[in-house]
């Protein structure tokens, strides 16, 4: 089978890219052909035989001086033309979309339709229904569903994108345009939702439930790692405000006798410096991150936005490290409360501190949770299981196209 994977970034950047690259590698192991379409970048690690890519677009750099930038962000004639050339040469049996908005744009769907190729899209966020893709206003630290029913003017009123009126106008216009003309409804054959929560939100916002299959993300490791636990509690991931890190810092300060380690990068880095019981170790990857996660007593996922299917939770559990997570979005689907981890009220520093102290003092409970975590990941979140479900979906769409 020839599979064309489409994602705006073709280099390691986040969970979406990890998903794309690992899935593609496994497809190749199983005898399929995979090529990629996305933006040109010097750090790209995947691509296509025709060397066809979209010019790099930095949405964060948009300003009034770049008068034509908004047009490229909403509808890319370049992306539409180049993916057409690639399709004619590569002849994919199926096209699997991931994150495409603002850089590649849904314009490519109109070209794909001409070739009568089935299209699957994995929903990594809320991009189909929310102009800023998060159902969350960052500068207010507020969950927001005001655009429900196509009321995208609320994105402009609240300056939802980076607290910028200009960017929010562009994002609202993009959402209005593609929903007004039913682009997603008409030209995407099936959606994959990594969480039940996201699937239900899509249905609430008007996506046909029969066109959404829920499949939790996968983890590639299948061997138990015998890490020796060390005396610290870990947070690892992006250091941004919607991740609930202000609540996490406040909870840490309530527990001066417990050592916390924070690994990551982002806008809040400086706020972790100078706190006696927090060791900020910066951005970590590879074996260094693996060891840091595996040796932690447990990790924290304090998000205050709607998480989809948090890879940090699955990665933590994969190494036998239980998670205390906020009871919001898709997080409760990954943590069985008081079975393999604990849940707390999002934004409540006292509840979080209470849960941390309780688990920290009960090493037998940590060991019990650790065993449950590893067995759950192996049985429920393996790449082999995910591949089996996905290839059946591919086959059914190809047969009916």
Whichever domain contains 68, its CATH number is: 3.40.50.2000
99 and 148 assigned to the same domain? yes
Contacts of 366 (CB under 8 A, 6+ apart): 229, 297, 298, 322, 359
**pTM (predicted TM-score):** 0.89
Q: What is the pLDDT of residues 8-54, one digit of tens each?
A: 999 988 889 989 999 999 999 999 999 999 999 999 999 999 999 99
> How far is Cα 40 from Cα 50, in angstroms, rounded to an integer?
13
Report which of 378, 293, 257 is spatially closest to residue 301, judged by C-alpha positions. Answer: 293
Does the residue 168 lie in any domain?
yes
Whether residue 361 is contained in a domain is answered as yes
Q: Residues 11, 127: one domain?
A: yes
Query: Confidence class of residue 70 from pLDDT cuts 50, 70 and 90?
Result: low
Residue 165 placed within a domain = yes
Position 224 in a domain:
no
For a pLDDT cut of 90, what percent of the chain falls above it?
77
- Segment 185-192 shows an average pLDDT of 94
Strands 212-214 and 233-236: unpaired
| Boundaries of domain holding 120 | 2-218+382-400
Do 43 and 139 lie in one domain? The reply is yes
Task: For tokens 């005898």, name the residue.
Answer: 31
Indicate the average pLDDT of the chain.
Answer: 92
Query: Do 41 and 112 lie in a common domain?
Result: yes
For the chain, the domain total comes to 2
Biggest alpha carbon distance in the chain?
Answer: 64
Are 241 and 188 in a shared domain?
A: no
Kindly state whether residues 364 and 390 are assigned to the same domain. no
**What is the share, in percent, of the chain residues with pLDDT greater than 70?**
95
pLDDT of residue 155: 95
Q: Please report which helix (H) or strand (E) contains residue 213, including its range.
A: strand 212-214
Q: Quick one: 82 and 109 in the same domain? A: yes
* DSSP bridge partners of 120: 96, 190
Asked whether residue 223 is assigned to any structural domain, the reply reads: no
Lowest mean pLDDT among 181-185, 224-228, 251-255, 297-301: 224-228
311 occurs within a structural domain: yes
Same-domain check for residues 175 and 298: no
Strands (E), 48-155: 94-97, 119-122, 136-137, 142-143
Are residue 201 and residue 55 in the same domain, yes or no?
A: yes
What is the CA angle 12-267-202, rounded to 5? 65
The pLDDT confidence band at residue 65, using thresholds 50, 70 and 90, is very low
> Helical H runs in 319-382?
331-334, 349-360, 363-380
Which residue would you say has higher pLDDT here, 134 or 224?
A: 134
């Amino acid at each position: 089978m020839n599979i064309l994977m489409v994602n705006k970034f073709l280099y390691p950047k986040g969970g979406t890219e990890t998903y794309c690259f690992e899935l593609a590698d496994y497809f190749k192991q199983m005898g399929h052909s995979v090529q990629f379409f996305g933006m040109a970048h010097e750090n790209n690690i995947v691509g296509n035989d025709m060397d066809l890519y979209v010019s790099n677009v930095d949405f964060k750099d948009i300003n009034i001086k770049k008068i034509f930038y908004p047009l490229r962000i909403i509808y890319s004639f370049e992306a539409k033309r180049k993916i057409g050339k690639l399709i004619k040469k590569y002849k994919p049996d199926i096209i699997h979309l991931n994150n495409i908005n603002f850089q590649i744009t849904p314009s490519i769907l109109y070209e794909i339709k001409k070739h009568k190729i089935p299209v699957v899209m994995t929903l990594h966020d809320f991009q189909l229904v929310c102009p800023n893709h998060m159902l969350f206003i960052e500068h207010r630290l507020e969950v927001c569903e005001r655009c429900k029913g196509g009321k995208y003017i609320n994105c402009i009123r609240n300056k939802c994108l980076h607290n910028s009126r200009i960017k929010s106008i562009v994002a609202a216009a993009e959402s209005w345009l593609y929903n007004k003309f039913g682009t997603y409804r008409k030209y995407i054959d099936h959606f994959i939702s990594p969480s039940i929560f996201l699937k239900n939100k899509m249905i609430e916002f008007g996506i046909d439930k029969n066109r959404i299959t829920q499949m939790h993300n996968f983890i590639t490791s299948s061997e138990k790692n015998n890490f020796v636990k060390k005396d610290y509690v870990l947070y690892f991931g992006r250091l941004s405000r919607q991740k609930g890190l202000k609540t996490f810092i406040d909870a840490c300060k309530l527990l001066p006798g417990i050592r916390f380690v924070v690994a990551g990068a982002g806008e809040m880095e400086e706020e972790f410096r100078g706190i006696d019981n927090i060791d900020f170790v910066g951005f970590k990857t590879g074996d260094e991150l693996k060891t840091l996660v595996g040796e932690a007593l447990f990790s924290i996922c304090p998000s205050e936005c709607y998480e989809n299917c948090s890879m940090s939770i699955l990665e933590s559990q994969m190494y036998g490290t239980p998670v205390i997570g906020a009871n919001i979005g898709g997080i409760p689907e990954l943590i069985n409360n008081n079975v393999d981890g604990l849940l707390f009220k999002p934004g409540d520093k006292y509840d979080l501190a209470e849960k941390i102290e309780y688990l920290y003092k009960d090493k037998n409970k940590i060991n019990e949770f650790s065993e449950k975590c590893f067995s759950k990941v192996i049985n429920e979140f393996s790449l082999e299981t995910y591949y089996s479900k996905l290839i059946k979906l591919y086959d059914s769409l190809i047969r009916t196209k």
